[in-house]
Amino acid sequence: MDFHALLTQLNAIVWGPVTLCLLVGTGVYFTVRLKLLQLVKLPLALSLLFKPASGKGELSSFGALCTALSATIGTGNIVGVATAIKLGGPGALFWMWVAAFFGMATKYAECLLALKYRTTDAKGNIAGGPMYYIEQGLGLGWLARVFAIFGVGVAFFGIGTFAQVNAISDAMTVAFAVPAWVTACVLTLLVAAVTLGGVKRIASVAQTLVPAMAIGYVLACLWVLVSLHDAIVPALSLVLNSAFTPVAAGGGFLGATVALAIQTGIARGVFSNESGLGSAPIAAATARTKEPVEQGLVSMTGTFFDTLIICTMTGLVLIITGVWSGDSAGAAMTSAAFSAATGPLLGQYLVTVALVCFAFTTILGWNYYGERCWSYLSKGRYAGLYRSVFLLLIAGGAFIKLDLIWLLADIVNGLMAIPNLIALIGLRSVILAESRRYFGAPGMGGAIPAAEPAPVGSSKEAEDGLVS
């Protein structure tokens, strides 16, 4: 058995029924117990984005969100959506929506815990994330270390390096005939210049680049959708039908079963918005706020922006223009879609610029996530070694095959998510009790009855108070 076949089998195990049920089931659980919080409290969450910072921390809530978005808005929004639809058919987009909707509740829960259990490391920096709430909340230090190991693995071999660098390199080669080695060298130098300045410099770049690139890309998608508005309703109908019925082969599309649509849709959805993965809590822990619930609300908007808006826009452009059933794949497929609607030059350059910006900020965000996991494992030592390895992997990422990259990314993503989801389930009493306390306060809507927070482990008492 060759290496590629081995990874394919491992990916099928990691993203099998157990992981999918755990991932979606956790989101469903918190959606029900928090009474559709991602819908009911979305206006409040959006209003909190620009609330003045207060309390200890390194970044504003908006800065922490932009740092998290810098890691989530990346190739998943362009290449990931294209890959999902290419493999699973248009129905994969529906399952990305499902993963994102329930993922908003999961993102809220994990980022709430990040604030509640954050601490200060040996160097005086604010530190938080799944490794801390697993250790302090569950008392399972070994599971916290497992999460941190997989977190470093995702930074090194998953979302953080190969997928982003390869996408940038391919796009620059196709659009501007830039050799891969030139792109790799320039990208490595740029990443080194930003990330060596720490989380504040990363946040500074993210707060400037992320909103601008997201708005610009959405406007470009809207331009295509408005110009081809007659095809929107048929496209949505195709998405819904394909989500529950197999799609026959046609053109360059090999056909897809419903199971494949579900698997690819959820896996690519997680790759894109990272809900349940445990990465966003690492950035959320640095926010200058005293209220865990508020940061949880702010953080869940990241999934809303990333998947329910940006990925949806990309998916509809791919389906409406018909390129999803052609021979192209990845970034070339998205570029072909825009080219079909706006002309070859504008379409090609538009996707290239968007992809380079998206992927670059994702590299920055995951450099930070991986370093925090490394710091947890090494007790704050050998940071230079981590950064050196990370930069070397960036330099080599342009020369690895695309299919191998996505297999590696999916595997390490799934392995990282499992310990975090176990922690969310184990600490559900804390999440529910904190939510109950906050939303029961005057002026907070009262959707969840007020009560004092329950201690860790008092899950039944905490949960009973949330059931009306």
**CB contact set of 243 (below 8 Å; sequence gap of 6+):** 91, 94, 95, 258, 261
Q: What are phi and psi of 327, to 5 degrees?
A: -90, -15
When pLDDT is averaged across residues 385-405 and rounded to a whole number, the result is 83
User: What does the alpha-carbon distance between residue 443 and residue 345 come to, in Å, rounded to a whole number?
Assistant: 52
Q: Do 365 and 283 contact (CB within 8 A), yes or no?
A: yes
3 state DSSP class of 56: coil
Confidence band for 317, pLDDT divided at 50, 70 and 90: very high
Q: How confident is the model at residue 235 (pLDDT cuts 50, 70, 90)?
A: very high
* Per-residue pLDDT tens digits for 330-352: 777 888 888 888 777 777 787 78
Q: How many helices (H) and strands (E) does the chain have?
A: 24, 2
Q: How much is the pLDDT for 316?
A: 94
Residue 50 CA to residue 60 CA, distance in Å, equals: 9
Q: Which of 96-110, 124-138, 226-240, 434-448 has the lowest mean pLDDT?
A: 434-448
User: What kind and span of H or E run contains 348?
Assistant: helix 344-378
- Rg (C-alpha) for the chain, rounded Å, is 21
| CB-facing half-sphere around the CA of 262: CA atoms within 13 A | 15
Distance CA(443)–CA(420), nearest Å, equals: 32
Residue 61's pLDDT band (cuts 50, 70, 90): low
| pLDDT given at position 468 | 29
In the predicted model, what is the mean pLDDT of the chain?
83
The 10s digit of each residue's pLDDT in 435-444 is: 999 998 544 4
pTM of the model: 0.85
Alpha carbons 460 and 4: distance in angstroms, whole number: 46
Provide the pLDDT confidence category of residue 458 given band limits of 50, 70 and 90.
Answer: very low
* Residue 441 confidence (pLDDT): 57
d(CA 371, CA 238): 42
Q: What is the pLDDT of residue 465?
A: 38
Taking every pair of Cα atoms in the chain, the longest distance, rounded to a whole number of angstroms, is 63
Mean pLDDT, residues 197-220 taken together: 75
Tell me the two tokens of residue 114. Answer: 């990040």
Any alpha helices (H) in 117-257, and if so which ranges? 130-133, 141-157, 162-176, 180-195, 198-227, 232-244
Query: Is pLDDT at 152 greater than 90 in this prediction?
Result: yes
Question: How high is the pLDDT of residue 461?
Answer: 39
Across residues 46-52, what is the average pLDDT? 83
Contacts of 168 by beta carbon, 8 Å cutoff, 6+ apart? 183, 187, 355, 356, 359, 360, 398
Alpha carbon distance 432, 116 (integer Å): 13
Q: What is the DSSP letter of 120?
A: E
Q: What percent of the chain has pLDDT over 90?
A: 34
pLDDT tens column, 246-304: 887 766 676 788 888 888 888 778 777 888 889 889 988 988 888 999 999 999 998 99
pLDDT at 135 over 60: yes
Q: Number of C-alpha atoms within 13 angstroms, CB side, residue 232? A: 13
